[in-house]
Structure 1
């Protein structure tokens, strides 16, 4: 009996202990939830802001899009900073740390490779120099934004939730940090140029002149330049012999469809229609910038309202880049509208340096021998001691080692003059000419800009810094020798010398990252990795079909064109190879042929098996022909591949398949048809991996959105709360509707200046990256479906007022 009493006592205490543990768990969960809620931004009420000259209101609509109204552009810079600091601080932190090479301080040793690569550029030190080059008014504008960011961060009830997960404390924002965010865009938009030059340099050493001209063409039949119907290029003959490395039999691992990873996707469409082509008589400007996609989205939507210097109320609407100086990057000011795509102008040279034991510690540049300056960079690493990195810098730029060779990285981005606030002049522009003048002097990575004004005029130029080159401005996209026989660039091209196209006869302008010009001015831009041109041509032709009196809705829809005009040719080649003899006794090939014929609607549709098979057939040919050479080039740089060397590789392969020269048939194949069938078999192997039946291998099954917060890469279980739904996405590379799991249209904007009420917009992810925010993923489903929403903010639901 005593033992039974003791047992009942233990049971009672055990039950009480369990209840206590459950209560503690509930309290801990409640505390975590309350802390998470405390990190949400303030949406309503009144705040004191002594820096302001007059009250400012932030009126958000149901999607969280603010109309920020005040008495001056400087006051709005503060309020924009406050909003960015509360809604997007961790995103801003990642951008500044990425540019500065400081990510390992947050994420530990796994971030060191990227930090080492970016620390080579010493952008934090360059930011201090760039600030000194700016006028007091420019520095004051950035400082006012910085004050808003830090006040917004300090006003949160708890630090942003990412720091709670990471255990770190947010570091206050500085003016230098805002410049670092711009340099983060330089790295994103121009950072692959060294890989391209190294890949082309390797190829140049392993090709004779005829092979080089054939394998590295300067353009293609797909190109749609602004100044001509097509490129005037002579057909290069297929050389009598193939290079020694051609089709080399290397281990060819199974891989993802390259189009899915967007190794062949470069980004952005923009276009302008003149007033002669629109129902209203005003120009229409449209933009969809293609970038890596994550949560939150890189852009923050807003509208600004303030009086200009003459006291006239002005309204700006578009997107801002959190962390960068508080500018409307793409949008409309009521008189002009503007839109960007990456220009792929050649803004970087790798200049080979010579070493000699007789000149210990020195290197020879085209100007002679010099002793590089040494800068010791300490890379802080979470959880371990700091790493010491020595950066050696010549008069041309920092030194990079690749394959045992030393190169000076001579890049426009290293100049303090590469950044400025001339974008404010673009915001204030009243005419097309004023906007183009401001754009050419803008301190941003070189971009194609199309502009339209309320009078119906349209124009194109390259915005941002362009290098001034000798020899008539000719660019060379191969590493330069140390002897200076081909000189590197020297200074910047004057803004007035940037090429322009204004009011072309067809009443439209289209850029989509391919070659812009056919005339002499093309040489001053160079080619830093132009897109193939199929996307540009398809968009150009689609717009021409809209007719003479189109509207904003029709223009918006052009960016959603997912017709598979380019891949259709590869489908035709696959079907031609799969004749009755090829499929006899081969049930998988027979099924492949059937699906190419029946599961094909001429689009990159989510339910199409035929599209996926045709696209993968193209990439299987790539692997069979270039895997060996890619492995060799990657010893120089992880991104040095045939694709980095030329996006026109598939046109080269198409030419060989059409003409079938015996000298170029890779070893191990009895005929070109055998090579094509090997590509079919490889495609079948890849798309059925994991036991997926061929008939279920749809495009949507592979092209599924994987848009999530960066934290989910280290903590995948958080994707349930910090990720977008895994929607199958229509679209692909080489068509206007660019779409991949983590890359695609980061926004879609179409507007007529002066008629912003008719403007349309959508973007992935919503305004906020906070999972408890009412704006988290708001509007994301519209972006997936291609449903446009009004560009201007709607009726105010939340209003926050700043008073002095």
Structure 2
């Protein structure tokens, strides 16, 4: 708990403790935002630095600060002063600098803005490879094939404004693309280590559904996991200016302006999931000999501004990057084409300190209005107040598009392509307030099915299965719901999405398929006997059914994935659309002869090939198929980033290798290095009942007793109090 005479004192103290516990983490965050990691880690970090430096966020930070309101600038300056004083007060520099041979650089106000832009990279940079992947597909399919491969919705969609979306599937094209189904066994083997996908859950229950009459808000944001955790939990106390005392509890992001990211202020509680709004366009730029040194944009011919970015590299000469900037953003060349990267993060209004106004919100309506002006990566904002009201909207800036948002998901022609030319006014933001069923939930899925969905667009929504499951969990809670009961809803690891893939695999493994194939027989036995309907650590059946789906994806799309990765290493069918499982399911269920990959007699043979190659992957090197479980593959690998440079220290810099239940496409998202970065469930005004979990502890030092404090509770999902207990240690900062 941090208390002070006013909010500025609390900002200073927050900076002080952030620096003492997390300065190296903060340093990495600002360097990521600015493209300055190679100064610490040498040439291996240079490709990432060059990609991030292209956006010149340090220069943009200086421009934002120059226009920042005086009270916001005073707030951030006090935080910066606290950081630098906290760093200087340490008896020794943080241990990471002794290992890297570097000296901590003082903190600046620009650095705190860069920490926020680092989160823009984390949450939104996937839209660039997505657009490139979709562009490749558009160039290598006809219109009918493209519509089939990139469906706009599926039966898994679970929007806020409808129970379901009526399906009108695209007709099956008469033929498949020329690249279809060209794969080698070696390519299929990678499917066993397929990524778990995207994540974050939140939901709110209205007072009509709770035992207290106050709303309940639950939030678990899914991010990459390492030590220390991305979040630093805090309770803040200071005078409210009206003779009372304000208390705010929740999460802060060390290095970023020190407001509570998600939490409760006693009157309103709020949480976030990434919105996956369409916030990024690749604008194709054209050149010709009559316009030397110019490029053609949707606004006509222009001469790009040229900037030389000097990147310091540990152990090597500095690298110079020439950045060419247009009115639509910096220029990137990829796949033989030239693009402007038109990203909402470049807009001067994309980042501000309005988020701290949530600390003083007294009602749901006030909180929603603040969220619509918030300068953060665009998020689903779900909130509830002490009177039982609940609501959803988008927090963060949105582009105002003149045309269908679907166009912006592909590279846009530079001679009039339909990109945006301004920001959506806050008054036009979509909202849902107090729905009749008394609940709201989001999980990175499509939010709306009505006309307002065009205000958000589709920047890569999750397929929707996770929110469909979460929504029904919340509905099943019934009435008179307590905070402990609500906390359980996001811990559901039932395999509802994978269960149909198990059934498909069982159908393929009939008596004829098993004859003379003992490995297939073992595969079927595990699907039948080592399956409990959950992504549980002991389930071999879950592992096999999940990887069967991924193996089919690689078998059918391997050639396309390989070509897309030549354009961008991240690109591929899973980036082009999260709905690819629905595409493959339709093929496996309808079995069209015209889409049968060459070299296969029927679709059953395709399925068996995927199973055989999956068996080869899981038994490569000698392990028995019978010994494979989901837990053996889904084992925590949560460690301090320095452990990659000094692996002999990993035993002291890593969390235990716990086997983790859960996976993508279910509320309990879990992967070795990705998952629920926090779990928070709270009723505003009743914070004493609030529940919290977090991987890792508060301290970033491995010798601290707080380095892993609470981590085991997170692994086992044991509810712990949201509020701090009785003080054991006290730090007093005197002016």
Q: Which residue of 2 aligns with 1:682?
A: 613
Q: Return the alpha-carbon distance in structure 2 between the equivalents of residues 762 and 284 of structure 1.
A: 17
Is 1:583 the counterpart of 2:517? The answer is no
Q: Which residue of 1 aligns with 2:593?
A: 662
Matches within 5 A, 1:515-526: 515-526=446-457
**TM-superposed deviation, 1:310:** 1.3
Q: Which residue of 1 aligns with 2:326?
A: 394
Is 1:405 the counterpart of 2:337? The answer is yes
Q: 1:234 aligns to what SS in structure 2?
A: coil
Is 1:189 the counterpart of 2:120? The answer is no
Q: Which residue of 2 aligns with 1:348?
A: 280
Is 1:803 the counterpart of 2:734? The answer is yes
Corresponding residue to 2:70 among 123, 130, 136: 136
**TM-superposed deviation, 1:250:** 4.8
Q: Deviations over 1:573-604 (max 9, x none)?
A: 00000001100111010010001000000000
1:353/1:374 Cα in 2 relative to 1: closer, same or farther (>3 Å)? Answer: same
Corresponding residue to 1:312 among 244, 261, 265: 244
CA RMSD of aligned residues (A): 1.1
Corresponding residue to 1:146 among 80, 90, 98: 80
Q: Which residue of 1 aligns with 2:357?
A: 425
Q: Which residue of 1 aligns with 2:693?
A: 762
**TM-superposed deviation, 1:254:** 5.3
Corresponding residue to 1:443 among 354, 371, 375: 375
8 A contact 1:283–1:458 mirrored in 2: yes
Q: Deviations over 1:243-267 (max 9, x none)?
A: 11111235643545567633xx112
8 A contact 1:459–1:500 mirrored in 2: yes
Q: Deviations over 1:305-352 (max 9, x none)?
A: 111121211100000000000010000000000000000001111100
Q: Which residue of 2 aligns with 1:24?
A: none
**TM-superposed deviation, 1:473:** 6.8
Q: Which residue of 2 aligns with 1:12?
A: none
Is 1:502 the counterpart of 2:433? The answer is yes
Q: Deviations over 1:775-800 (max 9, x none)?
A: 01011001000111000001100001
Is 1:624 the counterpart of 2:555? The answer is yes
User: May I ask how many residue pairs the two structures share in their alignment?
Assistant: 735
Q: 2:408 aligns to what SS in structure 1?
A: coil
Q: 2:284 aligns to what SS in structure 1?
A: strand
**TM-superposed deviation, 1:691:** 1.2
1:686/1:472 Cα in 2 relative to 1: closer, same or farther (>3 Å)? Answer: closer
8 A contact 1:475–1:523 mirrored in 2: no
8 A contact 1:133–1:416 mirrored in 2: no
Q: Which residue of 2 aligns with 1:288?
A: 220
Q: Deviations over 1:463-517 (max 9, x none)?
A: 0010011137776211110110x32111211111110011111111010001000
Is 1:235 the counterpart of 2:169? The answer is yes
Q: Which residue of 1 aligns with 2:652?
A: 721
Q: Return the alpha-carbon distance in structure 1 between the equivalents of residues 69 and 612 of structure 2.
A: 63
8 A contact 1:250–1:628 mirrored in 2: no
Q: Which residue of 1 aligns with 2:472?
A: 541
Normalised TM-score (structure 2):
0.99
Q: Which residue of 2 aligns with 1:13?
A: none
Q: 1:509 aligns to what SS in structure 2?
A: strand
Q: Which residue of 2 aligns with 1:207?
A: 141
8 A contact 2:407–2:418 mirrored in 1: no
Matches within 5 A, 1:321-332: 321-332=253-264
Q: Which residue of 2 aligns with 1:653?
A: 584
Corresponding residue to 2:311 among 360, 363, 379: 379
8 A contact 2:189–2:613 mirrored in 1: no
8 A contact 2:373–2:426 mirrored in 1: yes
Q: Which residue of 2 aligns with 1:109?
A: 43
Corresponding residue to 1:734 among 662, 665, 671: 665
8 A contact 1:276–1:507 mirrored in 2: yes
Q: Which residue of 1 aligns with 2:397?
A: 465
Is 1:793 the counterpart of 2:727? The answer is no
8 A contact 1:362–1:372 mirrored in 2: yes
Is 1:572 the counterpart of 2:503? The answer is yes
Gaps of 5+ in 1: 1-66
Q: Return the alpha-carbon distance in structure 2 between the equivalents of residues 415 and 210 of structure 1.
A: 36
Is 1:249 the counterpart of 2:180? The answer is no
Corresponding residue to 2:19 among 85, 89, 96: 85
Q: Deviations over 1:722-761 (max 9, x none)?
A: 0000000000000000000000000000000000000000
8 A contact 1:598–1:610 mirrored in 2: yes
1:756/1:259 Cα in 2 relative to 1: closer, same or farther (>3 Å)? Answer: farther
8 A contact 1:706–1:724 mirrored in 2: yes
Q: Return the alpha-carbon distance in structure 1 between the equivalents of residues 480 and 50 of structure 2.
A: 54
Q: 2:567 aligns to what SS in structure 1?
A: coil
1:457/1:651 Cα in 2 relative to 1: closer, same or farther (>3 Å)? Answer: same
Q: Return the alpha-carbon distance in structure 1 between the equivalents of residues 688 and 520 of structure 2.
A: 54
8 A contact 1:552–1:758 mirrored in 2: yes
Q: Which residue of 1 aligns with 2:534?
A: 603
Q: 1:358 aligns to what SS in structure 2?
A: coil
**TM-superposed deviation, 1:224:** 0.5
Q: Deviations over 1:82-109 (max 9, x none)?
A: 0001100000000100111100000000
8 A contact 1:260–1:741 mirrored in 2: no
1:394/1:101 Cα in 2 relative to 1: closer, same or farther (>3 Å)? Answer: same
Q: Return the alpha-carbon distance in structure 2 between the equivalents of residues 202 and 147 of structure 1.
A: 49
1:253/1:235 Cα in 2 relative to 1: closer, same or farther (>3 Å)? Answer: closer
**TM-superposed deviation, 1:390:** 0.2
Is 1:555 the counterpart of 2:486? The answer is yes
Q: 1:461 aligns to what SS in structure 2?
A: strand
Is 1:268 the counterpart of 2:268? The answer is no
Q: 2:731 aligns to what SS in structure 1?
A: strand
8 A contact 1:287–1:340 mirrored in 2: yes
**TM-superposed deviation, 1:446:** 0.2
Choose 429-438 or 199-208, whichever is displaced more: 199-208
Q: 1:340 aligns to what SS in structure 2?
A: strand
Corresponding residue to 1:710 among 641, 646, 667: 641
Q: 1:603 aligns to what SS in structure 2?
A: coil
Q: 1:635 aligns to what SS in structure 2?
A: helix
Corresponding residue to 1:642 among 567, 573, 576: 573
Q: Which residue of 1 aligns with 2:210?
A: 278
Choose 471-480 or 538-547, whichever is displaced more: 471-480
Q: Deviations over 1:377-406 (max 9, x none)?
A: 001000111011100001111001011211
Q: Return the alpha-carbon distance in structure 2 between the equivalents of residues 251 and 607 of structure 1.
A: 28
8 A contact 1:761–1:790 mirrored in 2: yes
Q: Return the alpha-carbon distance in structure 2 between the equivalents of residues 551 and 238 of structure 1.
A: 48
Gaps of 5+ in 2: none
